[in-house]
Amino acid sequence: MPNILRELILKNRSYRRFYETDHVELETLEKLVDLARNSASAANLQPLKYVLSNNAQDNALIFPHLSWAAYLKEWPGPGEGERPAAYIIIVGDKRISNSFGCDHGIAAQSIMLGATEKGLGGCIIGAIRRQDLQHALSLPQYYEILLALAIGRPRETVVLETVRPDNDIRYWRDDNDAHHVPKRRLDDIIIPTSKQEADNVCKRLKKFAGISGYGFMSEILA
C-alpha cells in the first residue's frame, strides 16, 4: 500500500521558478487557506490572517520585496515569465496575540501540502522586506507579516540528495539547471537515549561476535 503522505511530502519542494501565465484561481487559494484554518494553533488562539494575490497587479506589489535563494549568489530571483502566479501572505493579528509561536509554520506546511496535492508547487519565503511590503499592501500596523508563500505550477526540477561528508547543506544547481537539495541522514538527526545507545552497542557487539565466530560473546550478550 503506497505511503500517500510520504509521497506528498517528498514531492512538496521549494520551487522558485514557475509557469507565470498558468493562472491560479482565487477559489483555489481560499481552499488552501481553509486547510491552514483547520490546522493546529497554540492555545487555539488562531491569530493568523491571510492576504491572497492571484493577479498581475497585486503580484507586482509583492514580488520586489522578497528575496529568493541566499545560497545562489549570482541568481537575482525568477525572471519575467517564471515568477509565481499567486501568493499567500501570512500575517499575525496583534490584536489577538503578540506572539505567534510556530502557528505560521504549521499553516504554511498545510497550505503547501494542499498545493502539491493540486499539482501546484511553491516556496515558503521568510526573507521579506516587511515594512516595504506592509506599505505596498496598505496593511494596518496591527498586522505583522510573518511569511510569504509563492505559488504556481513549477517550472524546475528539484532533486533531493544526501549531505556529503563535508556536511555542506547548501543547495545548488547543476549544468542542466536542476536544483539539488542536500538532506541530512536520518541517523544524524535522531538523538538516542542512554538505553537506546546501550542497546545499539549490544547489537553491534552481537553482530561482531556472529561475524567473528566468537560464540562465547553471543552467550554473554544474550
Neighbouring residues of 92: CB distance < 8 A, sequence distance ≥ 6: 47, 48, 49, 100, 103, 104, 143, 144, 146
pTM: 0.89
- Flag whether 169 is in a domain: no
Same domain for 152 and 74 = yes
Residue ending a domain, among 156, 177, 204, is 156
pLDDT at 21 over 50: yes
Q: Is residue 171 part of a domain?
A: no
The answer as to whether 185 is a domain residue is no
Residue 124 counted as domain residue:
yes
pLDDT tens-digit map of 133-182: 999 999 999 999 999 999 999 999 999 999 999 999 999 999 999 999 99
In a domain, 182, yes or no: no
C-alpha cell at 39: 490546522
pLDDT of residue 206: 86
pLDDT in tens, 93-143: 999 999 999 999 999 999 999 999 999 999 999 999 999 999 999 999 999
| More confident site: 215 or 26 | 26
As a whole number, mean pLDDT of residues 76-88 equals 97
In a domain, 170, yes or no: no
Q: Could you list the residue range(s) of the whole structural domain that residue 197 is in?
A: 191-221
Which has the minimum average pLDDT: 47-56, 157-166, 174-183, 200-209?
Answer: 200-209
Number of domains in the chain: 2
Do residues 135 and 207 share a domain?
no
